[in-house]
Amino acid sequence: MNSQSHKRIRRGVARAIGIIGSVAIIGACWVFGASEWKLRRVHDVPLVGIRDTAGSPDPAEGERMARIVGCWSGCHGDTGQGGQIDMEGYYRVTAPTLSSVLPLYSDAELVRLVRFGVKRDGSTLLGMTSYTFFPLGDEDLANIIVHLRRQPLLPAVPRERAITWTARLRLAQGKWQVAADQIDPARPRWGELPRTSAFERGRYLASITCTECHGLEFRGNEFNDNTYDGGPSLAIVAIYDRDAFRELMRTGKSVGGRDLGEMAWVARNGFVHFKKGEIDDIRTFLRTYHGLPEDEGDH
């Protein structure tokens, strides 16, 4: 091969590297731009306060619900002191000290944040499971807010927000969503609909708790189902009789004694605050919803 053809080959290789490099740069810019847009865009969600609920808000009931739905004993720490959420491979974000951020929000802004996953400026939250809180009824929200606002001011934990390229790519591709995009305002707000039967009461409670990890349709959760942590389809209640289900909800003990990890944790820290009747309602709802026949535990 003469030096002319060597030069040609070298030029060809250099051009190919140049093209590959340009494509990679354009691709990276697209991923960054599209994901950044989703992270920063302003969501047009109207501010709607809580309607006047009968009687004044009940802070003790608010505390109980704060523990059940996880404002307390969840991402924000045991008593709202703040915590770190680490969705491995996706993002790390600080769930802030509640007493330090709440005073910045009016009640209506707080209601919008909880139900729609948007901050005061209309941009999305990251890591907040608003899809689970969307069905919260006004009365429960009013109680929770009054309870939270009564708490002493705690020192604010430093805030952090770090997002991986994997998460950005999936965001750009529409395979993963930020909190505000996980909300479908057309879904029913179960807490504002009648709750006269065990099925209706159970449907409400399950929709504001179990959906976080078991999927919006209680059929198990995968990341692309829009929800957060992986839990199986709740058709599995079939193997839990009434007493076993009460035991699971309060202590996290499974039928067969298998360690349920995160499920056991959330039961011991949150669901232990359910009343017995509420646990039975949830079971009745889940059984009926999954087409299981009535049994002696139904009421």
Tokens at 16, concatenated? 């190919």
Which lies closer to ligand HEC via its Cβ, residue 35 or residue 284? 284
Q: Does 86 bind ligand HEC (CB under 6 A)?
A: no
> What is the residue whose two structure tokens read 């599995």?
236
Which lies closer to ligand HEC via its Cβ, residue 49 or residue 83? 83
Which lies closer to ligand HEC via its Cβ, residue 39 or residue 205? 205
Least separation in angstroms between residue 239's CB and ligand HEC is 7
Q: Which of 213, 276, 247 shows the shortest CA–CA distance to 75?
A: 213
Maximum Cα–Cα distance across the chain: 94
Q: Does 66 bind ligand HEC (CB under 6 A)?
A: no
> What is the residue whose two structure tokens read 């608003």?
130
Q: Which of 43, 39, 38 shows the shortest CA–CA distance to 185?
A: 43
Which lies closer to ligand HEC via its Cβ, residue 151 or residue 209? 209
Site for ligand HEC in 186-225 (CB under 6 A): 206, 209-210, 212-214
Question: Vertex 83, ends 144 and 226: CA angle to 5°?
Answer: 75
How far out from the chain centre does Cα 190 lie? Answer: 17
Q: Does 95 bind ligand HEC (CB under 6 A)?
A: no
The CA–CA distances, whole Å, from 71 to 50, 143, 148, 191 equal 18, 12, 9, 18
Q: Does 263 bind ligand HEC (CB under 6 A)?
A: yes
Q: Does 26 bind ligand HEC (CB under 6 A)?
A: no
Binder to ligand HEC among 236, 238, 272, 292 (CB under 6 A)? 236
Tokens at 219, concatenated? 């059929």
Q: Does 128 bind ligand HEC (CB under 6 A)?
A: no
Q: What are the residues binding ligand HEC (CB under 6 A)?
A: 206, 209-210, 212-214, 229-232, 234, 236-237, 240, 248, 254-255, 260-263, 266, 271, 282
